[in-house]
């Protein structure tokens, strides 16, 4: 969409009525409060291949009766709040044909998306009709390469718990491909909730042409030039609520609200992560004749976090700004207004917003943790949070003490929020404590550091032998569904002083499935990052994004199925000042995926053509493993050798799986027998989604 804006003009104001005490007609408040969003991931609830199982709201699951909050809950334009397809049948879809069939039907439906659905052609936007709920089944509901369109007069639509992604066509400021995640032209009464929308071709959400009575809540919006644009007419009629959204790594329209009569933004988290290629140009923008209330939101690292036109009115209350620069504006001559005259809502504390949204925004494996308040306001419950501060101002002084406090076999997310500082300790999250997030609470991943200096050849303090490579780790994550975010993990073992022992020194070890490492720095020399599964016959998937990994010898290694996405891999000189090393050393089990480096950068202050991209590790001479590394769409510095793969332990790398695809930079090279390149067809089967399978990484 063009960023140009037409001259504003005052339009007629719609009439509102306050929201009724009950959340939806015919549904008692007690029912909605008890289980408004209770939602199971077992497709047996519907029948694995069922088309229609529930025929009326009275027999639909409780989550299917969910209704919106904010302006989407207001009775207006002949519509009594927003409840989607509650009054229709519940259907489960796994194909594009079925999704389109039910979404475009004239009758109401609750449509459960229970698979990854690829749009054909790329950029397709399904034309959703009124009275629909489209909801993902756990984290399985994914729309790839396209999205949804709500046209003039379409109303009473709920889009929830979906991942909508990857329509990107390679042009950052794409004006040719209008491939949005969700586009609305003249719709009303729409609720967009708990989605992950990212990496589209034009924008993530477009609310255009007087779309009104819209609530956008608890979404993750990321990896995009234009996040959320609102407006595209001179009329000042739209009423919109935007709350509890995590908007990160986007450049503009965060959102941009043009000629909105009542724009209520609260408890949002806008984050521009330092050190990445994406830089914000502005954050929340009140344009034209917009009248905006902006409350209890957190802004980290943004340029021009809050901007308004001279003709707009913008009232700020309770917002927090960390590391921001440029414009931070408020004021204007418009009439003051109070959102509570239209609907009830509860503000979370601004200081809690980053942690709350990192753990609660986006699709959920279950929406059962969401509750309804006595006022009828729907909000997501925060994860349990334990605070760590070395100075004693937290609940615990060490990270390990907080880990020890997590109950065994916990079933819900526990966030260990670590205050800025250096924590010299060894941390181990045992296998019986899943759903643990260790997260730095500072504005930068550099603010919080966990560091230790064990090495494989060092003798344990109890004399029971040496640590061995895994035992040397500073941080070990052995539990499924666990995460490390926004901090630095370092192994500072000094090789120069200990050449007499085995000097593998791991900074971070993962030995579990569905592990997220996001916004972290992992520092070491040899064997910096070890990624394994719990056992050779088990899957161990790891997703790393927006991170930095440093080292020199085999410093990204193991048998896990690992994706390193949008990250920087930094090559270091050896302890004696020489430049030589290997980036990866996969020991992948046969029939599994290995290490995928995608959309990243590999460079460092080392000698040209001195590093291999990888070598094939067959632990103990194991002939059954089939090591794999794929490096694609990545910038390679001059340090990478023109023959980038190497043999290891007497095994030829050519007998294993090593390849590149469309890499750039001084270290990239043409296809040859010593430098295999994927064909386009092969590359289509080596995407991030192929590595992760049925798992969509999220903060929940």
Q: How far is CA 130 from the centre of its chain?
A: 29
Q: How does 17-54 read in b/e, with b if 16+ C-beta sit within 10 Å?
A: eebeebbbeebebeebeebbbbbbbebebbeeebeebb
The CA distance from 223 to 210, in Å, is 26
Task: Could you list the beta-strand ranges (E) of 41-86.
Answer: 75-76, 79-80
Task: Could you list the beta-strand ranges (E) of 505-621.
Answer: 508-511, 515-518, 521-523, 529-532, 541-545, 548-551, 553-558, 561-565, 568-571, 581-586, 595-598, 601-603, 611-615
Cross-strand partners of 450: 423, 489
The CA distance from 600 to 597, in Å, is 7
Q: Compute CA distances 266 → 253, 294, 478, 675, whole Å.
A: 16, 6, 37, 52
The CA distance from 31 to 7, in Å, is 47
Respond yes or no: is residue 554 known to be catalytic: yes
The answer to whether the beta carbons of residues 261 and 234 sit under 8 Å apart is no
Q: Compute CA distances 369 → 72, 197, 406, whole Å.
A: 22, 21, 18
Instruction: Tell me which residue of 237, 239, 240, 272 sits closest to 254, measured CA to CA.
Output: 272
The CA distance from 18 to 195, in Å, is 27
The CA distance from 167 to 119, in Å, is 9
The CA distance from 335 to 337, in Å, is 6
- How does DSSP classify residue 325? B
Q: Compute CA distances 219 → 142, 248, 281, 316, 576, whole Å.
A: 14, 11, 21, 22, 49
The answer to whether the beta carbons of residues 438 and 427 sit under 8 Å apart is yes
CB-count exposure of residue 201 (10 Å: 0-12, 13-18, 19+): buried
The answer to whether the beta carbons of residues 264 and 240 sit under 8 Å apart is yes
The answer to whether the beta carbons of residues 202 and 174 sit under 8 Å apart is yes
- Residue from 210, 527, 565, 626 carrying the catalytic annotation: 527
Respond yes or no: is residue 185 known to be catalytic: no
Region of residue 460 (left: phi > 0; alpha: psi -120 to 50; beta: else)? beta
Strand order from edge to edge, sheet including 109-113: 89-93, 109-113, 132-136, 155-160, 188-193, 212-217, 238-243, 260-266, 291-295, 313-317
Q: Which two tokens stand for residue 346?
A: 């509860």
The CA distance from 212 to 541, in Å, is 42
By three-state DSSP, how is residue 513 classified?
A: coil
The answer to whether the beta carbons of residues 485 and 516 sit under 8 Å apart is yes
The answer to whether the beta carbons of residues 133 and 111 sit under 8 Å apart is yes
Instruction: Tell me which residue of 298, 395, 282 sits closest to 355, measured CA to CA.
Output: 298
Positive or negative torsion for Cα 137, 696, 694, 682: positive
The CA distance from 151 to 153, in Å, is 6
Residue 40 parent element (H or E) = none
- Residue from 180, 210, 272, 554 carrying the catalytic annotation: 554
- Active site residue ranges: 527, 554
């Amino acid at each position: 969409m063009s960023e140009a804006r037409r001259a504003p003009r005052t339009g007629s104001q719609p009439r509102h009525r306050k929201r009724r005490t009950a959340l939806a007609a015919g549904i008692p408040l007690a029912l909605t409060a008890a289980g408004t969003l209770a939602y199971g991931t077992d497709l047996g609830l519907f029948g694995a291949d069922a088309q229609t199982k529930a025929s009326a709201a009275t027999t639909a699951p409780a989550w299917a009766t969910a209704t919106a909050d904010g302006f989407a809950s207001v009775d207006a334009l002949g519509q009594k709040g927003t409840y989607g397809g509650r009054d229709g049948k519940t259907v489960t879809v796994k194909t594009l044909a079925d999704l389109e069939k039910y979404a475009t039907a004239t009758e109401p439906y609750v449509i459960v998306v229970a698979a990854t659905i690829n749009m054909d052609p790329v950029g397709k936007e399904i034309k959703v009709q009124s009275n629909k709920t489209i909801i993902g089944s756990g984290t399985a509901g994914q729309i790839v390469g396209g999205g949804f369109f709500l046209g003039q007069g379409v109303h009473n639509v709920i889009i929830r718990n979906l991942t909508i992604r990857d329509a990107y066509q390679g042009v950052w400021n794409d004006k040719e491909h209008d491939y949005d995640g969700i586009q609305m032209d003249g719709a009303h009464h729409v609720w967009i909730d708990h989605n992950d929308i990212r990496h589209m071709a034009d924008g993530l959400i477009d609310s255009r042409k007087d779309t009104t009575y819209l609530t956008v809540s608890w979404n993750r919006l990321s990896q995009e030039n234009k996040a959320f644009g609102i407006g595209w007419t001179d009329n000042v009629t739209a009423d919109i609520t935007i709350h509890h959204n995590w908007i990160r790594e986007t450049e503009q329209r965060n959102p941009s609200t043009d000629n909105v009569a009542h724009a209520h933004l609260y408890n949002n988290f806008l984050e521009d992560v330092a050190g990445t290629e994406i830089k914000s140009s502005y954050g929340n923008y009140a344009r034209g004749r917009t009248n905006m209330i902006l409350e209890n939101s957190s802004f980290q690292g943004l340029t021009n976090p809050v901007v308004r036109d001279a003709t707009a009115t913008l009232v700020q209350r309770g917002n927090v700004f960390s590391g921001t620069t440029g414009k931070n504006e408020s004021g204007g001559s418009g009439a003051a207004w109070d959102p509570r005259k239209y609907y009830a809502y509860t503000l979370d504390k601004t200081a809690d917003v980053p942690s709350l949204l990192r753990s609660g925004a986006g699709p959920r494996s279950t929406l059962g943790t969401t509750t309804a308040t006595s006022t009828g306001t729907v909000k997501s419950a925060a994860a349990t949070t334990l605070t760590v501060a070395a100075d004693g101002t937290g609940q615990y002084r060490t990270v390990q003490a907080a880990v020890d406090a997590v109950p065994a076999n916990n079933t819900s997310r526990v966030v260990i929020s670590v205050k800025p500082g250096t924590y010299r300790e060894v941390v181990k999250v045992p296998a019986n404590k899943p759903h643990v997030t260790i997260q730095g609470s500072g504005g930068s991943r550099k603010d919080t550091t966990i560091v230790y200096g064990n090495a494989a050849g060092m003798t344990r303090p109890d004399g029971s032998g040496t640590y061995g490579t895994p035992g040397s780790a500073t941080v070990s994550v052995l539990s499924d569904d666990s995460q490390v975010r926004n901090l630095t993990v370092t192994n500072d073992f000094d090789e120069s002083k200990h050449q007499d022992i085995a000097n593998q020194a791991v900074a971070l070890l993962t030995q579990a499935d569905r592990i997220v490492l996001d916004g972290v720095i992992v520092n070491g020399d040899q064997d910096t990052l070890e990624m394994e599964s719990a056992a050779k016959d088990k899957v161990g998937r790891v997703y790393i994004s927006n991170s930095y990994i440093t080292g020199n010898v085999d410093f990204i290694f193991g048998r896990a199925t690992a994706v390193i996405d949008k990250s920087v891999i930094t090559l270091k000189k050896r302890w004696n000042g020489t430049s030589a090393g290997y980036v990866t050393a996969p020991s992948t089990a046969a029939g599994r995926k290995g290490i995928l480096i995608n959309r990243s950068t590999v460079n460092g202050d080392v000698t040209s053509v001195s590093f291999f991209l990888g070598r094939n590790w067959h632990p103990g001479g194991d002939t059954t493993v089939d090591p794999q590394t794929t490096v694609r769409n990545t910038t390679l510095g001059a340090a990478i050798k023109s023959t980038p793969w190497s043999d290891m332990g007497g095994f030829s790398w050519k007998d294993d799986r090593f390849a590149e695809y469309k890499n750039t930079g001084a270290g990239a090279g043409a296809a040859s027998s010593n430098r295999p390149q994927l064909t386009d067809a092969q590359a289509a089967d080596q995407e991030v989604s192929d590595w992760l399978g049925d798992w969509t990484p999220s903060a929940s």
